[in-house]
Chains A and B, each alone.
Chain A
Amino acid sequence: MKNTALSDTHIKLNAKMVPFAGYNMPVQYEGINAEHETVRKAVGVFDVSHMGEFILKGADALDLIQRVVSNDASKLVDGKVQYACLPNEQGGIVDDLLVYRIDEKTYMLVVNASNIEKDWNWISKFNTKNVEMHNISDKTSLLAVQGPLAAKALQSLTSIDLAAMEYYTFQKGVFAGIENVVVSATGYTGAGGFEIYCDNEHALQIWNAVFKAGAEFGIKPIGLGARDTLRLEMGFCLYGNDINDTTSPIAAGLGWITKFTKAFTNDKNLLQQKENGVPQKLVGFEMLERGIPRHDYKIVDANGTEIGIVTSGTQSPSLQKAIGMGYVNTAYTKEGSEIFIAIRDQKIKATVVKFPFYKS
């Protein structure tokens, strides 16, 4: 199992460590509910150094990216970030990712830890024009500083005007005395904040500086457990749960990042899906009766007939009710549709709601 540059730091903070995507990662420190609230109301720091980063460089870098991703990366300008997925040829999704345009010929792709090798091989397969590809995952650390107080908590560490940064933009600059740190106004929590990419050898110095600067704002370390509840309250897909090699981006509600303005993997089939519809779609739902939905529970109608499957579920710490996401037959995708979740030997009533579950 791999450690991040900060695994020892988490252990010293009494984190509960779990293996995740081959890394020894903190799942919680003081408790998921308390950590969740810290991010919603103040500011918290996640070590997400397990995430993968690839640099693609060269005159044909954009062409390669356009060929493999669903979104239209030609719309990017320097300093802009775009969410996209890598469709496969069978109608599913290889991974979801962020595309950073560093300059006209240089891009950074940020991919899920569990898919680093799969994505690398997938993209390499289409690299017929010798775009320079560098997998910098193992030497790159990533801290997500998330929450409404994130800009204030970090501002003393950099001359970049954090509060002025627009969502899904980034800047490279000096941060906590370290040069060439990428500060990105992105995140996976819906709470606002920044993601900070640095070399492993600087990770501890930056971590310590962030905690020192953030102390007066109540900054705390946050584990992957709260990362999951936070993203779920926003209705953000988690690869491996809500999307995978067999789920369609159109069915998953990722039509907004699937642009038919250019050619890419499986675009013809996906366009057909967009125009003709798909048999099931990913929806959010709230439980109306007591019970907590979990990945792979069946979704049934009033008669107990199977109409779908739960992909994610939890007790929402912010809303204090049980929420979930899952694929259901299109007849049940409208807001307010009555569905039931098969929990153990019972069917428990739920209602389809719009994303996000949590509105700030």
Chain B
Amino acid sequence: MNFPTELKYTKDHEWIRIEGDIATVGITEFAQRELGDIVYVDINTIGKTIAKEEVFGTVEAVKTVSDLFMPITAEVLEFNKALDTNPELVNSDPYGEGWMVKIAIKDAAELSALLNADAYQSIIGA
């Protein structure tokens, strides 16, 4: 499985790509594999500020539904509209076209608690 080293990760299986004050968030390859075919990504927190580890949306696979947790305290700026019609992008390209939200970072101090690729892989035993 692929875990790009330029990304940070959480124990809840989200990844975060930090670009200045803005970041992009999605779920990891491990997460999409565990969920199976993804059929709906439901984000109803656009414009809201969500605290670290709070739910910012849900991802629905055929068999299961799973909450999405904010890696850091942030305002949800944008949802990946492509997922409305092609939620399977989360399966096929979890770190690229399958990204879920763009967020505005509220407290840069929280970033240091995120996991690097190695630490995340050791959590999932990959």
Given A32-B63, A292-B65, A294-B65; A344-B36 close (CB under 8 Å): no
Interchain CB contact (< 8 A) of B37 among A33, A291, A292: A33
CB atoms of B42 and A32 under 8 A apart: no
B58 at interface, CB cutoff 8 A: yes
Question: What residues of B have a CB within 8 angstroms of the CB of A229 in the complex?
Answer: 62
Given A32-B37, A290-B40, A315-B39; A225-B60 close (CB under 8 Å): no
In the complex, how many angstroms separate the beta carbon of B76 from the nearest chain A beta carbon? Answer: 16
Where chain A touches its partner, the secondary structure class is mixed
Question: What residues of A have a CB within 8 angstroms of the CB of B60 in the complex?
Answer: 292, 315
Question: What residues of B have a CB within 8 angstroms of the CB of A225 in the complex?
Answer: 36, 62-63
How big is the B interface, by class?
10 to 19
Question: What residues of A have a CB within 8 angstroms of the CB of B65 in the complex?
Answer: 292, 294
* Minimal Cβ-Cβ distance residue in A for B63: A225
Cα A314 to Cα B65 in complex, Å, equals: 10
Which of B39-57 touch A at CB < 8 Å? 39-40, 42, 44
Given A28-B36, A32-B37, A225-B36; A315-B62 close (CB under 8 Å): yes
Question: What residues of B have a CB within 8 angstroms of the CB of A255 in the complex?
Answer: none
Given A28-B36, A32-B37, A344-B58; A314-B42 close (CB under 8 Å): no
* Minimal Cβ-Cβ distance residue in A for B57: A344
CB atoms of B39 and A292 under 8 A apart: yes
Question: What residues of B have a CB within 8 angstroms of the CB of A314 in the complex?
Answer: 62-63
Question: What residues of A have a CB within 8 angstroms of the CB of B44 in the complex?
Answer: 346
Question: What residues of B have a CB within 8 angstroms of the CB of A27 in the complex?
Answer: 63
Question: What residues of B have a CB within 8 angstroms of the CB of A31 in the complex?
Answer: 36-37, 91
Which of A26-43 touch B at CB < 8 Å? 27-28, 31-33
Cα A215 to Cα B91 in complex, Å, equals: 28
CB atoms of B40 and A292 under 8 A apart: yes
Interchain CB contact (< 8 A) of A32 among B40, B58, B62: B62
* Minimal Cβ-Cβ distance residue in A for B91: A31
Cα A111 to Cα B91 in complex, Å, equals: 36
Question: What residues of A have a CB within 8 angstroms of the CB of B62 in the complex?
Answer: 32-33, 225, 229, 314-315, 317
Q: A31-B36, A32-B62, A292-B40 are in contact. List 8 more A-B contacts (CB 8 A).
A: A16-B36, A31-B37, A229-B62, A292-B39, A292-B65, A315-B40, A344-B58, A346-B44
**A-B pairs with lowest CB-CB distance, top 3:** A315-B39, A32-B62, A33-B37
Chain B residues at the A interface, C-beta cutoff of 8 Å: 36-37, 39-40, 42, 44, 58, 60, 62-63, 65, 91
Chain A residues at the B interface, C-beta cutoff of 8 Å: 16, 27-28, 31-33, 225, 228-229, 290-292, 294, 314-315, 317, 322, 344, 346
